[in-house]
Structure 1
């Protein structure tokens, strides 16, 4: 006998419960799916943002803050490293390229970062999407999300570490501390990187130094940009990005500059620690979602037990008319399994949708582009829940299977 017509009739008779039960299960399942998907996207995007920062060197202090400030532009005041180190690194046979990173100014909320033309082009990997890279002092190249147009000029404002400004707007602090005698002209725009540097305005580090009365790091008769700098007059910088020639050179440099008042760090080192913390939090949240799923599954099963109890006489009549006991077991099991499976499938979609929405919020806050992609682990998680739900659905089915025809007719 085909149990599907009976299953269809029973589900139709449930009316609003046939919709409420899957939705209840979906909300619980979506928690676990959303947490897993969000954590995965955060790992991928943060690792991608650090790709161009092979080795960071700074003054002794917090490695985490050095990475957060330099790579993710979470602007905080950093101790300065001796500017003479720029020349030392430039002449080191283990170094392929070196670039200073200098902060301190903002405009319309966008950080103004002083560096070299080589690093602005990411060691030759990037070409300007519009215009060109800066080639002299007073020129600027903007990220993809910066509102300035090619040829537009602006005056930077001094900003202390940790200040937050609304993008595209002049905050009160900017108006108060603006460098009125300094003007930059936008000469290029970089392609979208999917990192916080899409919101950065990159200018020659010499211009940043001169804006703050520190000279330009070169001899008086030199007007070039970037290394070599004059070791006697080069101002200190918050961070130095080093591109080693080989992996072995990277570890050698890291060891050498972890002493003498400096620290050297691979951004991946810091990210591993952050990932561990995020992973620990994710594990707790996922465990909580499993407990929530279990409680909801139990509640749904109790509800199904109640409903099948109300239908006991109907099933007994079918048995009396010749339906085998296995037929009743299949009907009850399919009804419960279908409701739980539909809820799990909806939870997968809800979880992915929630992860995509949260990703947009994180992107607007941090500048990290969290590209949403459905993951295999999400599907396996939901399949596991479906299997668990199908197993638990046997409970009401087995209880009805054991009811005799006479007991069912008298109920």
Structure 2
């Protein structure tokens, strides 16, 4: 350490009580900046990794963002259903390798219910083309014998403390109000999926035939008066699915994706649309990214206020340090050395705040990460700072050093006699 830096450190330490508040302020603003940047990147990654390996999402003609929100994230208003005849026509196309229809609209204790086929567990991918893995039990069979079987997402099982073998009751509609339950047709949990950090973990999965079975004695969103079909008797009815909310489509060759998109758009039996997941997710991020940018702007303003506080504290202390600076000038320190001394003090205080803030951000992410994963499905990664985070750290540090030049310039202009003359 150079003599000037050592002197700056001792000078700052002698005023540690006042400067500790400045360090705390800078630390909080730095922690806010780093946490928001990490949250922004991880939320965007969660958006991008919600569905992978699916070339098209087909549904009723609506907006691409609305279809993706409802079909993938189980959010927003319900879209119109499409007929299974259209799904079968889509599956017969030579370019199509597989289709996985899903039916939405029911819930269990606030978690969405997804009606689908066993092919869902075979073809659905998330993240970097990662397959769904069962942490416990097995997938539902999709047969009449296993009609009332359910597979839970990891977060559903963790939040509600469910294990394979337990019985659950589905509710009609997304709200799951009392009195709207399919209590006469309970389901048995047969499997629990491993954590994915996607909406899959917050969903209850059952067969499409089961969705038909629980609605046999319902019409218009309400049970039919005087009609109650027991669970076992439901197996004697035709439970072939009639409608689907959306279809995940995998192609034999991705070169055909635009040709298939045009085929869906020109389909005459009913109005359909095919969405490219990656394009729709980018559009979706543009919608929700406005709030993220606003939060980032607020954190930048907080950092600016903290640095302004640093300048104010050092300027306020100049009046008390006039004699100290004059003594330094008397023993041979020139105006330039005084300016550098105050700039070095500001840099040390800023560096202490930045380091403290970075440690606080890491501790906060380590503590809150599992909670956010469980409650919101957002996986916060605790790792080395990203390039953007390093840039923010460097920006705060440089801004602190530049802020130190303001009181340094003020001290530079003070004369030796100004500090030694009595007041």
TM-score grouping bracket, smaller chain normalisation:
0.7 to 0.9
Q: How far is the alpha carbon of 1:351 from its aligned partner?
A: 4.3
Q: 1:24 to 1:287 in 2, by over 3 A?
A: same
- Give yes or no for contact 1:37–1:352 (8 Å, CA) kept in 2: no
Which position in structure 2 is the counterpart of 1:336?
Answer: 346
The structure 2 residue matched to 1:212, chosen from 210, 215, 220, is 215
Which position in structure 1 is the counterpart of 2:136?
Answer: 130
Which position in structure 1 is the counterpart of 2:397?
Answer: 386
Matched, 1:377 2:374: no
Q: How many Å separate the matches in 1 of 2:67 and 2:194? A: 25
Matched, 1:245 2:220: no
Q: How many Å separate the matches in 2 of 1:281 and 1:155? A: 37
List gaps (5 residues or longer) in structure 2.
126-130, 219-234
Q: How far is the alpha carbon of 1:57 from its aligned partner?
A: 0.9
For residue 104 of structure 2, give the secondary structure of its aligned residue in structure 1: strand
Q: 1:75 to 1:177 in 2, by over 3 A?
A: farther
Which position in structure 2 is the counterpart of 1:41?
Answer: 42
Q: How far is the alpha carbon of 1:354 from its aligned partner?
A: 5.2
For residue 85 of structure 1, give the secondary structure of its aligned residue in structure 2: helix
Q: 1:141 to 1:409 in 2, by over 3 A?
A: same
For residue 188 of structure 2, give the secondary structure of its aligned residue in structure 1: strand
Alignment of structure 1 residues 4-403 onto 2, 5 Å? 4-74=5-75, 76-122=77-123, 125-135=131-141, 136=143, 137-145=147-155, 146=157, 147-158=161-172, 160-161=173-174, 163=175, 173-174=177-178, 176-213=179-216, 234-259=241-266, 260=268, 261-353=271-363, 362-373=372-383, 374-403=385-414
TM-score using structure 2 length: 0.81
Moved more, 384-393 or 395-404: 395-404
- Give yes or no for contact 1:35–1:355 (8 Å, CA) kept in 2: no
- Give yes or no for contact 1:102–1:205 (8 Å, CA) kept in 2: yes
Q: How many Å separate the matches in 1 of 2:51 and 2:123? A: 12
Per-residue CA deviation, residues 72-121 of structure 1 (Å, 9 max, x unaligned), is 12264321101101211221111111011012332333332211101123
Q: 1:277 to 1:306 in 2, by over 3 A?
A: same
Which position in structure 1 is the counterpart of 2:222?
Answer: none
List gaps (5 residues or longer) in structure 1.
166-172, 216-222, 224-228
Q: How many Å separate the matches in 1 of 2:292 and 2:204? A: 35
Q: How far is the alpha carbon of 1:357 from its aligned partner?
A: 6.3
Q: How many Å separate the matches in 2 of 1:294 and 1:405? A: 33
Q: How many Å separate the matches in 1 of 2:276 and 2:206? A: 25
